[in-house]
Amino acid sequence: MIFLLLWAVFPQYRVFSLTLLLMHIPVLIWGIIDIRNSFFCQAFCHKDGEQSSLAITFDDGPDPEITPEILDLLKKFGYTATFFLIAKKAERYPELVKRIIGEGHTIACHDLDHRYTCNFRFTAAMVRDIGAARDILKRISGKTVRLYRPPVGLTNPHLKTALKKLNMECIGWSGSVRDGGNRFRKTFHLIPELARPGSVVLLHDTVPVPENKSEFLNQLENLFISIQEKKLKTVSLHSLFSLQPYL
């Protein structure tokens, strides 16, 4: 806004105002694409000072092709996770949502769908879509979720206001292998390295590339083994940050 004001009211400062604008563009881009900097709103990404616990999270589900096997692995190791669900997918597979909750895990919101244009919405559209997503999850589970992770982890200046209106918290992550939602198999071998105290681990329970499934599940089990070997424990994300998961 200050750039527009300088441009309109003080023509003699147009070169100066344009220079200021160009200087700020990299900062704005950094704020949009890196949720860990909490540029536009506070995002819970890492628990500083934590020595023994971490939180495991899954995005983009539920998916009948892989969510049940992830739940089986979690049960095998006795681990707890948080599932950031896409509401329209949850609507198609409500039995998986109920199983996630029934086995002691937490559900959270990953928006209504996963459009890459989600970050171009203004406050009213965010409140509408995220609110609709939360309503779908409530109809299935009976729970009004409070934890929200934006698609692709992108934020904008309207997100803070929208989440405040909905009484929700923004959740990021501190550890991921940049697998493109399980599309990039070449990074799966890095998954076991995510076992670090205080971390919010980002994984995905979706299979956009079916031939990647076995390798992902193998590396997920290796992550769980690494957690054991390091004598760490998994806790629910809301417990790690002392947040309220549901209204």
Enumerate residues 6+ apart whose C-beta is below 8 A from 199.
Answer: 46, 54, 55, 174, 175
Backbone φ and ψ for 78, nearest 5 degrees, come out as 75, 30
Catalytic residue among 46, 110, 204, 238: 204
Asked if 188 and 177 count as a contact pair (C-beta separation under 8 A), the reply is yes
Active-site choice (46, 59, 60, 179) = 59
Whether residue 204 lies in the annotated active site = yes
| Phi, psi (degrees; rounded to nearest 5) at 15 | -65, -40
Does 59 participate in catalysis according to the annotation?
yes
Q: Are strands 43-44 and 81-85 parallel, antiparallel or unpaired?
A: unpaired
Per the CB < 8 A criterion, the answer to whether 129 and 111 are in contact is yes
Q: What is the DSSP string of 69-97?
A: HHHHHHHHHT--EEEEE-HHHHHH-HHHH
The structure tokens 């949009």 sit at 32
Q: Report the distance separating Cα 89 and Cα 58, nearest Å.
A: 14
Separation of alpha carbons 192 and 194, rounded Å: 5
List active site positions. 59, 204
